[in-house]
């Protein structure tokens, strides 16, 4: 079978990384993106620069200007290409933005995912389908885990979570945000197309995914945006939880490596919590300290004594299932290296 990869959201953070990674592995790459991120977040979220980067640097890259909400267009493209693997990263990715644009959010995250799945079932049901889901499918249920307050971060008090949150955690009966709910719909559909039609699908429930090519904005991409604020001497707004809220951060490169491992050795209807795990977790206060150390610039910030609706207080992924299923995969970019790469990425872009 020819190595032909279809990537939706190819101009975004994860999509572009996947395009580069698989191109290096000898795949013919077909990217689908309509720069919807600029519609969602305004000019700061524009990803055309990344599309141009792929078009100029990858010889075997083909861009398709398609909206995944366009059902017929999606069915036609898959019928024409019959890719040997599909990576679905196109999404409305912001927790906070969704309430203002509920139709766009659901049509993209839930219906767009269904369009992709049905197109795959009709055109190439043997091809592995990796879907980017999110830890927001767990809603705010992780906030019910007892915590201890440390000097700069929250930590789980219950030893059952010493390795983080596993895939068995409940996704039900908690507050998700409209984004979390539309992603649950997509996530369950991806599992169902696996179980019901025996398509090799997986849902990757991401923690904080980031890297040097992230177009971080206030409403999405916390680490990328925080580092940008530091570099530009801009004030960063901290919302609630004393700035001690914890996130686990994973490099887009390690996400692409995992997707590659899955596609090489696919399973059916799997779910993985794909984050940086405990060693790559930090609070916002920890992140300020880390970036200050790198740039030598004090982080300016203000504190808003109200948390974002449904925001996790402490979340990091239990990576043990991923490691058990794919023992050759592990985190390769640790937290200090990730920070350094993001600083470098913003500096390079500001010079252009
Ligand atoms: N970045 C994170 O921290 C994070 C965390 C958890 C989960 N995720 C998930 O990972 C996936 C990728 O996230 P990302 O950070 O790369 O997002 P991103 O916004 O950088 O990339 C998404 C891309 O999809 C495109 N897109 C959006 N709607 C589209 C549509 N209707 N048709 C065609 N293209 C469309 C956008 O223009 C953008 O280039 C998403 O599903 C997101 O929910 C991301």
Whose C-alpha lies nearest to ligand 1, atom 9?
132
- The structure tokens 């696919």 sit at 266
Residues in Cβ contact with 4 at an 8 Å cutoff, skipping those fewer than 6 apart: 27, 28, 30, 81, 82, 83, 84, 85
d(CA 45, CA 210): 14
**C-alpha 345 – ligand 1 centre gap (Å):** 19
Q: How far is CA 132 from CA 43, 116, 149, 352, in A?
A: 24, 13, 31, 30
Does the pTM exceed 0.95?
yes
**C-alpha 89 – ligand 1 centre gap (Å):** 5
Q: Is 217 in the pocket of ligand 1 (CB under 6 A)?
A: no
Region 42-71 average pLDDT:
96
Give 32's strand partners: 8, 64
Closest CA to 33 of 52, 59, 58, 57: 52
Q: How confident is the model at residue 1 (pLDDT cuts 50, 70, 90)?
A: low
Alpha-carbon dihedral 68, 70, 75, 79, rounded to 10 degrees? -80
What mean pLDDT, rounded, does the chain reach?
A: 96
**Do 128 and 262 form a contact (C-beta atoms < 8 A)?**
yes
Closest CA to 140 of 109, 170, 99, 183: 170
Residue 156 parent element (H or E): strand 154-156
**C-alpha 151 – ligand 1 centre gap (Å):** 34
**C-alpha 298 – ligand 1 centre gap (Å):** 31
What sign results for the dihedral spanned by CA atoms 166, 171, 176, 179? positive
Q: How confident is the model at residue 45 (pLDDT cuts 50, 70, 90)?
A: confident
Query: pLDDT at position 165, please?
Result: 98
Q: Is residue 119 predicted with pLDDT exceeding 60?
A: yes
Give per-residue pLDDT as tens, 141-199.
Answer: 999 999 999 999 999 999 999 999 999 999 999 999 999 999 999 999 999 999 999 99
Q: How far is CA 163 from CA 15, 156, 259, 338, in A?
A: 28, 10, 22, 21
Give per-residue pLDDT as tens, 201-252.
Answer: 999 999 999 998 887 788 788 899 999 999 999 999 999 999 999 999 999 9
The region that residue 162 occupies, defined by phi over 0 for left and psi between -120 and 50 for alpha, beta otherwise, is: alpha
Give 173's strand partners: none
**Do 171 and 142 form a contact (C-beta atoms < 8 A)?**
no
Mutating to test ligand 1, I would choose from 13, 258, 271 the residue with most ligand atoms within 8 A of its C-beta, which is 13
């Amino acid at each position: 079978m020819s190595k032909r990869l279809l990537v939706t959201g190819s101009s975004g953070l994860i999509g572009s990384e996947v395009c580069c990674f698989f191109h290096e592995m000898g795949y013919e790459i077909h990217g689908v993106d309509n720069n919807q991120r600029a519609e969602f977040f305004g000019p700061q979220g524009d990803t055309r620069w990344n599309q141009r980067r792929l078009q100029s640097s990858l010889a075997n890259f083909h861009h398709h200007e398609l909206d995944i909400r366009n059902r017929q267009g999606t069915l036609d493209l898959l019928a024409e290409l019959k890719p040997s693997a599909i990576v679905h990263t196109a999404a409305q990715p912001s927790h906070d933005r969704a309430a203002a644009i509920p139709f766009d959010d659901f049509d993209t995250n839930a219906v767009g995912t269904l369009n992709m799945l049905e197109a795959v079932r009709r055109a190439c049901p043997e091809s592995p389908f990796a879907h980017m889901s999110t830890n927001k499918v767990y809603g705010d249920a992780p906030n019910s885990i007892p915590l201890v307050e440390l000097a700069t971060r929250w930590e789980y008090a219950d030893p059952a979570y010493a390795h983080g949150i596993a895939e068995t955690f409940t996704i039900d009966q908690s507050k998700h945000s409209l984004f979390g709910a539309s992603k649950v719909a997509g996530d369950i559909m991806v599992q169902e197309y696996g179980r019901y039609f025996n398509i090799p699908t997986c849902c990757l429930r991401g923690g904080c995914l980031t890297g040097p090519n992230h177009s971080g904005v206030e409403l999405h991409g916390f680490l990328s945006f925080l580092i940008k604020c530091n570099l530009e001497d801009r004030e960063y707004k901290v919302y609630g939880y004393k700035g001690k809220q914890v996130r686990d951060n994973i490099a887009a490169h390690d996400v692409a490596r995992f997707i590659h491992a899955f596609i090489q050795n696919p399973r059916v209807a799997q779910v993985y919590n794909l984050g940086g795990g405990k060693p790559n977790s930090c609070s916002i206060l920890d992140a300020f300290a880390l970036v200050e150390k790198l740039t030598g610039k004090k982080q300016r910030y203000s504190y808003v004594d109200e948390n974002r609706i449904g925001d996790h207080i402490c979340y990091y992924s239990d990576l043990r299932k991923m490691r058990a299923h794919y023992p050759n995969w592990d985190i390769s970019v640790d937290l200090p290296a990730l920070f350094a790469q993001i600083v470098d990425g913003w500096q390079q872009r500001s010079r252009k």
